[in-house]
Amino acid sequence: MSLKLRIQDDMKAAMRARESERLATIRMLLAALKQREVDERIELDDAAVVSIVDKLIKQRKDSVAAFRQGGRDDLADKEAAEILVLEVYLPQRLSPAQIAIEIQALVAELGATGPGDMGRVMAAAKSRLASQAEMALVSAAVKQALSK
């Protein structure tokens, strides 16, 4: 079963269970998926769905930080709850240690030597680890590996 079909099935289950917050989050996700399909005139595969879910989670994390800073804990809690619903659709993530191992192998493979190779290593890392790791952690691991 594709990830998109699983999300649609979860929406139906949330409707039956009358879980309004979860249903609203899933509908928002499906709207984002549909918008991308219409804009680009494509059928999304699982990798594209994961990238959209990643983007939505990042937006919500930024919103949580902004709401907490502004003293709006009620809105921050709502966004945090949406993050929990969205995280269900992400594949198992690599740990920071596993990311560091992958980056070390990638740096050796590309022959990267210093901070000047950051862009080249990040481009390769993004294509290899995009659905497996949060790119902020990957970026930090690349910086550390290239600074040695």
Each domain of the chain, given as residue ranges in start order, spans 3-87, 96-146
In CATH, the number for domain 3-87 is 1.10.1510.10
pLDDT in tens, 37-63: 999 999 999 889 998 999 999 999 999
CB 3 within 8 A of CB 46: yes
pLDDT in tens, 82-104: 999 999 999 888 889 999 999 99
CATH for 96-146, options being 3.40.640.10, 3.30.1300.10, 1.10.10.410, 2.40.110.10: 1.10.10.410
Q: Where are the alpha helices (DSSP H) in the chain?
A: 3-17, 20-40, 46-69, 73-87, 96-110, 118-129, 135-146
